[in-house]
Amino acid sequence: MDSSNSREFLKDFNEIENYLKNKHNKGNYMSFHALVDKASQRNDRIVKRYLQDLKEIAELRNAIVHTYTEEVLAEPTDYVVELIEEIRSRLVVPPTVERFIKDVVTFHEDTTLREVLRNMKNKEYSQFPVVDQQKLVKTLVTDSGVANWLASHLNEESISIKGVQVKDLLPFDKRKQNYRFIPKEMSVYEAQDRFAQAAERGEKLVALIITKNGASTERILGIVTPWDVMET
């Protein structure tokens, strides 16, 4: 029987096991099942997603190792080999938020409301970073701020946006500080967790600002929204 599937399976299994040991248990020996449970309890998103698969894979691994002679008695199917490779790649080499690095439309406090509205329409974004002269992010201007500013003028016979600037919108924008800075090396799954954890706390986190090391004193490299990571 061709044992190529077994070799690939065991290679990926060992990488997963080493990853779990290094990240979740650097002390005494723990079984694979215990490592998986510990990682799940620590809210490791990928382990939790594949929890049952990992436990079943461990059983298959034991069958292969215990009978691994010249005659392989437990040969993984192509499906299982593809599954463990998928898990390995997501755990060991997860995609990072670098995929969201690109030129970001930013505004200054003296940017006009007309320019904000034009970009919201053309780009279909709901928030934009507001930067200073050194191009460091100081706040956000969001669709919520624009809507609240307009609502505050509803009693007027007509509303003119002539001369209105970003700095006029900010006092009306409750979401302007609802962002966090993250490093470009952060995994997409950790970014997902940031949004999920904020929601659990009852916070409305609308954006993650990517900088080189996750510092607010560094220039913006990209921006991540909940919609960006929803399907990852």
CB 143, CB 135: distance < 8 Å? no
Task: Give the pLDDT of residue 211.
Answer: 97
Task: Give the pLDDT of residue 45.
Answer: 82
Positions of the chain with pLDDT under 50:
1-2
Angstrom distance (rounded) from CA 6 to CA 57: 12
Nearest to 148 by CA among 164, 176, 179, 169: 169
Sign for the CA dihedral angle at 128, 131, 137, 140 comes to negative
Taking every pair of C-alpha atoms in the chain, what is the biggest distance, in angstroms?
88
Give the fold, CATH level 3, of 99-229: CBS-domain (3.10.580)
| Number of continuous H segments (helices) and E segments (strands) in the chain | 10, 5
Task: Give the pLDDT of residue 146.
Answer: 95
Nearest to 104 by CA among 90, 119, 115: 119
Question: Helix (H, G, I), strand (E, B), or coil: what is residue 210?
Answer: strand
CB 38, CB 30: distance < 8 Å? yes
Task: Give the pLDDT of residue 116.
Answer: 96
Provide the CA 135 distance to its chain's centre, in angstroms.
24
Task: Give the pLDDT of residue 25.
Answer: 82
Strand pairing report for 137-142 and 127-131: antiparallel
Nearest to 167 by CA among 134, 139, 209: 139
- 146-152, Cβ contacts within 8 angstroms, sequence gap of 24 or more: 146/113, 146/116, 146/117, 146/120, 148/172, 148/173, 148/174, 149/113
Angstrom distance (rounded) from CA 212 to CA 153: 41
- Domain boundary assignment for the chain: 4-93, 99-229
Task: Give the pLDDT of residue 103.
Answer: 92
Name residue, tokens 């594949």: 50
Provide the CA 35 distance to its chain's centre, in angstroms.
24
What pLDDT digit, counting tens, does each position of 161-206 carry? 999 999 999 999 998 899 999 999 999 988 988 998 899 899 989 9
Task: Give the pLDDT of residue 18.
Answer: 92
CB 157, CB 186: distance < 8 Å? no
Task: Give the pLDDT of residue 1.
Answer: 43
The phi and psi torsions of 164 (rounded to 5 degrees) equal -80, 130
